[in-house]
Amino acid sequence: MSDRFALTGARVFDGEDWHDNAALVVRDGLVEAIVPAGAIPSGVTRIETGGGMLAPGFVDLQVNGGGGVMLNDHPDVASIETICRAHAPFGTTALLPTLITDTPEITAAVAAGALAAQQKVPGFLGLHLEGPHLSVARKGAHDPALIRPMTDVDQAMLIATRTTLPVLLTTIAPESVDPARISALVEAGIVVSLGHSDTGYAKARGFADAGATVVTHLFNAMSQIGNREPGLAGAAIDTGTLFAGIIADGIHVDPATMAIALRAKQGPAKIFLVTDAMATIGTDMTSFTLNGRTIYRKDGRLTLADGTLSGADLDMIAAVRFVHHVVGLDLSEALRMASLYPAQAIGQAHRLGRFANGTAADIVALSDELDVKGVWIEGDKVFGAGIN
């Protein structure tokens, strides 16, 4: 393919506004411009998309697995590539492979694999280390034997890992980490998320003041909103500096609860979509293991034997459809929740989640029914046999 091409025949959503009768011009892996369909520069290769819409590729900040692989079980570059490849057909063009609470040795191996994945794996954005510095009281599917407080050694490891990666996000619980450590992590460029925590509202707000800017899977594995104690869920909604991921599958959070939270959320930080996806994405597997425990797939749920939810059997386009069709969000907002807002949450909105001159040509072509027709990562088509 030419290194300069124009996608035509579809409405273009630039992350904020819609453009009709327009073309998206790409050059050397970057967006060059959105131009009227009749004003495509001469010499540019035209690619007809056949209707529908073009939108910024989806950005998923919590992806535990895909393509039959869990990052915990295979903490290497090959697994990162498998996971990224498995999610691309669902519109995800940038993701954070996510390590669920594990040993220091596995964490170190993941960091090494991530270093090797840079400049090699399309869609690889960085890492999300979800634990091990969480609350046993809100452990969810995390192995309680591996949960522990953060030490000086842990803090140094996180800071050293961040120096090798463009993005490092870590989920911690205030019960297991001193606020001074949060400030040090943030100063080193690490995105700190609060989650798997039974902390109260005031303490959560204090950690936001210390530099935490994200909350992991809103309403799940956290203290809830009560009449006298708003909890971490309340702090996430009421604190303007806290972004919050949400699993929009209708299982983890009731649609009415989701709608209430979206109406109530104080900005400028927003609620964004995450899949919390596991190994099942892109496969027909019915079970897999995590830290030696079997997780079962049935009726859209992933659970341990005791019924505890264990991640989600969810892809990003399904989450977009859910918040649009079931929760009732305007399509523009649903798309922003999958692209612009997560990009903002990790400080990458200058290159991801929108179309503007110089942003990455990470593109998803959607039908009017919100089926994925084609996907490009940095201008290279990675999915979509019907678009040439």
Instruction: Enumerate the active-site residues.
Output: 276
Residue whose C-alpha is closest to residue 88's, from 67, 115, 112, 118: 67
Dihedrals phi, psi of 112, to nearest 5 degrees: -65, -40
Residue 385 to residues 46, 365, 374: CA-CA distances in angstroms? 16, 12, 8
Residues 6+ apart with CB under 8 A from 226: none
For residue 120, count CB atoms less than 10 angstroms from its CB and return exposed for 0-12, middle for 13-18, buried for 19 or more.
exposed
- Between CA 242 and CA 225 the distance in angstroms is 16
Residues 6+ apart with CB under 8 A from 59: 92, 93, 94, 95, 125, 338, 339, 342, 343, 348, 352, 353
Helices 152-162 and 179-187, packing angle to 10 deg: 20
- Between CA 246 and CA 320 the distance in angstroms is 11
∠ CA(301), CA(304), CA(309), 5° rounding?
A: 45
Phi-psi region of 387 (alpha: psi -120 to 50; beta: other; left: phi over 0): beta
Cβ-contact 82, 120 below 8 angstroms: no
At 33, list the tokens: 């411009």
Cβ-contact 316, 60 below 8 angstroms: yes
Residue whose C-alpha is closest to residue 202's, from 223, 176, 171, 180: 223
Name residue 312's amino acid: A
Neighbours of 317 (CB within 10 A): 20
